[in-house]
Structure 1
C-alpha cells in the first residue's frame, strides 16, 4: 500500500536530504512540478495574491480563497503540497477551521505566521507581530485541529527583522514547545544562518528561498550543511513565466507577428500532454463517448 502524501512528506522530513519544494500558484504549475520529479511543492501566498487579485501579499485574500486555490493545486498532482496559511485568519478558533479546511482539501502541510491582521509578505517592510502567547495558542489550536497525525504544522516567526535574533529564536522555541513540527524563521540574513540550527538541534527547519535576495541564494547542499530540512522556492516559476510573457508581448507588439516566438515556447501538444489529455481520452473511451465526439489533438 502506497503512503499518503502527508506520510511521504513526514518521512522525507526525517531523511538525510533537504526537501526542495518549488512554488506553485495553480494546477498547471503543479503538473509541471510533478513532471520534473520533485518530492514536494509549495503554494505561495504572494503568488496566489498576484495571480488571483493582481495585488501584493498584504492580507487581501480570505481563508476560503486560499483553501480553494490550495485544493485545486492538490487535486492536480500527487506531489505533497505545503501551503501558506498566513496568520490563520483570526484567533485560535479561526486557525482550527483553517487547518480542518486545508486538511480536507488534500494539503500535506501548512505554515502559520505570528503577524497581526492584516498581514503582509515576510520580505516586505511594515510587518507587525501578535504576542508570542497569542501565537502559541494558535499553534496549539492547529495541532489539536488536525485529524491526520502526519499532517505537518509549520510555525513561522517574523520577529527576526523586527526584534533581532534572540527574540526570533525565543519565539520559535515557544512555538516548537507548543507542538509545531517544523520551525520557519523568516528573512534570515547570511550572518543569521549559522546560528539557527544549533539553537534547534533535531528540529526540522524551513529555508525560504524568497526572490527578495535578503536570504542568500544557496545550493541545496549548502542549505543542508546549515541544518535545514525543507526549502521552499515561492515565486521563481511565476517570475520566470511573467518575464517570458512580457518578452512575448513585446515581440507581438513590435513585430505584429508571433512567428519568431513560436519555436521558443511549449508546443501545442506538450501543453495538452501536461494538462493530461491522454487521461481524458482514456476516460472518454472507457465511458463510451462516440469516436467522432472525442477530444483529440
Structure 2
C-alpha cells in the first residue's frame, strides 16, 4: 500500500517488453512521488526523473550540483510510488568510471528501471544551452563500459546521451553514438537535435533504440507522438513539463491572493480535496486503521 506492489525487477521487465511493441514509450517527468502517481493514473508508460527538474525543485540550476545520495534518494521515492518503470538522469555519472559503476548499483538497489549518462564535462549544463564542453569519446566509452559491467540486473536499461550535436555537429554525434553502443549502451539519447529532419537522419544512422527529448523552450521542435513513431523513435521524455505547469499555476494562485486578498478566482484551476485523496488512495489506509478515514466528503 505504501509503495507500488510491482517489484523493481518486474518494472524493468515491463519496460523491456514495452520497447519491443513497436510504439513510442511516453515518459513524462515526475519531480515528486505525487506527480509520478498522477502520471500513472493518466495512463502513461513510464516516469522520468529529470536532473534539471530535481535540481530546480531544490532551488539550484542544472549544472551538476546534485549528489548521488540526493538523486538516488529522490528517485527511489518517485520510483516506489508507482508501478510504472522509472528512468533517472544521472548527468555525468557523479565521477570517474569507478564512480559510475557505484552509481548504477545504487540505482538498481533504489528500484530504478534505467538511467541515462551524458558525455559533458563538469561543470555540465542543460542540454539546450550553448557552449557545452564534452569529454572525449574514449572517456565516455570507459564510463559506459563501467556502467554496463556494474549491472546486476540485465534488464536495467543503460542509455547513453550525447550532447555533441550542438558542440561538434550531427556527424560527430552519430559517430559518438556508435562508439557508445560498442561500449555497452543499449539506447541512445541524441540531445538538442535541430529539426525533424535531423531526428530522421539519426534514426537512419543508428541501429539501436532511440530516445527523443521533447522539452519545451529548447533547441528541438516539439514533435507529436505520431511523428516520432513514424520516424521510428522508441521513447520520448517530457522532462520538465509537469514542473513548468505547476510553477506557472502556483505563480497565478499566489498573485491572485496578493492582488485580491483570497484565492476564489483560481479555485477552478485547483485539484480538489477529493481528487487529491483519491490519488493518494486515502481510503485504502483505512484497512490498517479505521480511525484514519472515518469521515465523508
- Common topology (TM > 0.5): yes
CA-to-aligned-CA distance 1:247-288 (integer Å, 9 cap, x gap): 111111111011222233111121122122122222224xxx
Q: Distance in 2 between the 1:193 and 1:101 partners?
A: 32
In 2, the alpha carbon distance for the partners of 1:102 and 1:116 equals 22
2:159 aligns to what SS in structure 1? strand
1:39 maps to 45
SS in structure 2 opposite 1:221?
helix
Gaps of 5+ in 1: 286-290
User: What secondary structure does 1:260 align onto?
Assistant: helix
Q: Is the 8 A contact 1:281 1:296 kept in 2?
A: no
The answer to whether structure 1 residue 266 and structure 2 residue 271 are counterparts is yes
TM-score, normalised relative to structure 1: 0.93
TM-score of the pair, normalised by structure 2: 0.93
Partner of 1:106: 111
Q: d(CA) in 1 for partners of 2:162 and 2:135?
A: 10
Give yes or no for contact 1:90–1:117 (8 Å, CA) kept in 2.
Answer: no
Aligned length: 288
Report the Cα distance in structure 2 between the residues aligned to 1:215 and 1:269, rounded to whole angstroms: 38
Q: Which shifted more, 131-140 or 211-220?
A: 211-220
Q: Which aligned segments of 4 or more residues in structure 1 are displaced greater than 3 angstroms?
A: 293-297
**RMSD (Å) for aligned C-alpha atoms:** 1.4
- What CA distance in whole angstroms lies between the structure 2 residues aligned with 1:35 and 1:242? 21
Instruction: Tell me if structure 2 keeps the 8 A contact 1:22–1:40.
Output: yes
State the SS of the aligned residue for 2:288.
helix
CA drift of 1:295 comes to 6.4
Alpha-carbon distance between aligned partners in 2 of 1:269 and 1:179, rounded to the nearest angstrom: 47
1:241-252 equivalences in 2 (<5 Å): 241-252=246-257
Report the counterpart of residue 130 of structure 1 in structure 2.
135
SS at match of 1:82: strand
Displacement after TM superposition at 1:294 (Å): 5.3
- Equivalent-residue separation in structure 1 for 2:110 and 2:95 (angstroms): 20
Look up the match of 1:14: 20
Cα distance change, pair 296–34 in 1 and its aligned pair in 2 (3 A):
farther
- Aligned counterpart, 1:232: 237
CA distance in 1, matches of 2:155, 2:288: 33
Change (3 A) 1:51 1:296: farther
The residue number in structure 2 matching 1:288 is none
Does 1:178 pair with 2:183? yes
- What residue ranges of structure 2 are gaps of 5+ in the alignment? 1-5
